[in-house]
A and B are shown apart, each in its own frame.
Chain A
């Protein structure tokens, strides 16, 4: 059975701290791994990773994939209160469908 595990499940930090969120997976016929940020409503897309070792960056956020060890990390530097959200990791399988398998998410709280 396909599985996506995120850790930690929750995290509380102070503004300015750097955080690392983890996502490990066991998925048949891996195609890609995606990160989303969910505040109150719709998850918003952050990154899609398909190749090992290539870092993707967007401002203070960055992510990298290790297809040999089957995990990804999401880094957030110089955290701000606006980074407080649930961060979701999802994996897409190959095989003609675009279905995603989601982890349970990491709830990040950034205190001023």
Chain B
């Protein structure tokens, strides 16, 4: 089945640790996105990529990093510089300007 797969579903981070969230899609979409969702805050854009080997910062990129080495994959690293990483992280992809974004099931990150 075509879709977006995020892993893991739950992740715990220790102080000072970097963690990487996986996002894979088999929809052949060029554009991919990472959002953060906090209670009562809606979705906020962290990073996005419109093509392989290129990506741009979103509204809240500080403390995060990404790579886009393959069309299918857009991993997000939450670095130790992100002081408040506890949130629900959603990955999305889109097939073009006139196509809606479709979302994965998310990763819930918590601090130990």
Known interface pairs A104-B41, A104-B42; A97-B103 also in contact (CB < 8 Å): no
Interface presence of A70 (CB below 8 A): no
Q: What is the predominant secondary structure among interface residues of chain B facing chain A?
A: strand
Name B101's contact: one of A9, A41, A100, A105 (CB within 8 Å). Answer: A100
Instruction: For A90, list chain B residues within 8 Å (CB).
Output: 43
**Please, which residue of chain A has its CB at the minimum distance from the CB of B30?**
A98
A36 to B103, CA, bound (A): 10
Number of residues from B at the complex interface, CB < 8 A = 26
B87-112, CB under 8 A of A: which get 1 and which 0?
A: 00010001011101111111000000
- The reply to whether A41 and B105 contact each other, CB–CB distance below 8 Å, is yes
- The reply to whether B102 and A45 contact each other, CB–CB distance below 8 Å, is yes
- The reply to whether A98 and B97 contact each other, CB–CB distance below 8 Å, is yes
- The reply to whether A98 and B94 contact each other, CB–CB distance below 8 Å, is yes
- In chain A, positions 52-108 with a C-beta closer than 8 Å to chain B are 88, 90, 97-100, 102-105
Interface presence of B27 (CB below 8 A): no
- The reply to whether A102 and B43 contact each other, CB–CB distance below 8 Å, is yes
A90 to B92, CA, bound (A): 14
Give me the interface of A with B, judged by CB distance under 8 Å.
Answer: 4, 9, 31-32, 34, 36, 41-45, 48, 88, 90, 97-100, 102-105
- Taking A90-B43, A99-B48 as known contacts, 20 extra A-B pairs with beta carbons closer than 8 A to each other, sorted by chain A number, are A41-B105, A42-B4, A42-B104, A44-B103, A45-B100, A45-B101, A48-B100, A88-B42, A97-B50, A97-B56, A98-B31, A98-B48, A98-B96, A98-B97, A99-B58, A100-B101, A103-B42, A104-B40, A104-B42, A105-B42
Cross-chain pairs A/B with CB under 8 angstroms, 29 sampled: A32-B98, A34-B101, A41-B105, A41-B106, A42-B90, A42-B103, A43-B90, A43-B103, A44-B103, A45-B101, A45-B102, A48-B100, A88-B42, A88-B43, A90-B43, A97-B50, A98-B31, A98-B48, A98-B50, A98-B96, A98-B101, A99-B58, A100-B45, A102-B35, A102-B42, A102-B43, A102-B44, A104-B41, A104-B42
